[in-house]
Amino acid sequence: MRAIMTIAANQILRLAADRGALVMLVLFPITLNLILGVSLQRAFSPDFRFDRPFRVALAVEDGPLATPLARVLAEEVPADVWTVKKVASADAARALVRQRQAEAAVIIPDGLPAEAIVVVSEPGTLASSLTKDVVRETLAALVDPLAAQVPVDTEHVPARPAGSTTPVASRAMD
C-alpha cells in the first residue's frame, strides 16, 4: 500500500510542476464545456424549434393507402417541421433534392403496402432521418402497426453545389 501511495504522490507532484499539463487537465475541459454549453443551449432546450421548416417534395401515385398517407403528410404535419411541395413524379422529386430546392423527397408508390415508400435525401442529414421517422409514425397511425410492416427505404442523392451543373459524388451513409 505504501508503494502505491508513493507512486501516486510522485505523479501528483510531477503534474503540479508542469503548468501546461495542469491547464490541459483542468482548465481546457472546463472551458470547452462552457463554450459548448452556451452555444448548444438552444438545441437541447425543451422548446427547441428549427430555424426554418424542412422543404419536402411529395410524389404520390394513386393507391388505396397512398392517397390518405399523402394527405396526412401534406396537411397534418406541423408547419414548423416541414413544408410540402407536391410534385408529379418520383423523378421530379429527386430533381428537387439534387438542386437543393428540397431537403428531402417522399415517394409513395401505388402498390403500398407491398412496395416500399422511398425517402430521398442527401446522405447523413437531419432531414433524412426526421423525414423517415415522420413517414413511419404517420403510416403506423393510419394502419395497424402490428398488422402491416411497410418498409421505408432511404435513397441518397448527392446534391449539386450552389451554382454547379454536375452533382457531387458521395457515399451512402445510411
Residue 96 belongs to domain spanning:
54-156
Residues 145 and 70 reside in one and the same domain: yes
Determine, yes or no, domain membership for 163. no
pLDDT band at 82 (very low <50, low <70, confident <90, very high): confident
Range list of β-strands (E), the chain: 54-60, 82-87, 104-108, 117-121, 152-156
For residue 162, is it within any domain? Answer: no
pLDDT category of residue 163 using cuts at 50, 70 and 90: low
pLDDT digits (tens, 9 = 90+) for 43-73: 777 777 777 888 999 999 887 788 888 888 8
* Inside any domain, residue 88: yes
| Per-residue pLDDT tens over the stretch 123-162 | 888 888 888 888 888 887 877 655 456 677 777 777 655 5
Q: Is 168 inside any structural domain?
A: no
pLDDT at 166 (0 to 100): 52
pTM over 0.75: no
What whole-number distance in Å separates Cα of residue 25 and Cα of residue 146?
Answer: 52
pLDDT in tens, 101-118: 999 999 988 887 778 888
Of 46 and 25, the structure prediction assigns the larger pLDDT to 25
Residue 168 pLDDT greater than 50, yes or no: no
- What is the rounded CA–CA span in Å between residue 139 and residue 65? 9
**Structural domain count of the chain:** 2
Instruction: Say if residue 148 is in the same domain as residue 87.
Output: yes
Confirm whether 152 is domain-assigned.
Answer: yes
Radius of gyration of the chain (CA): 25
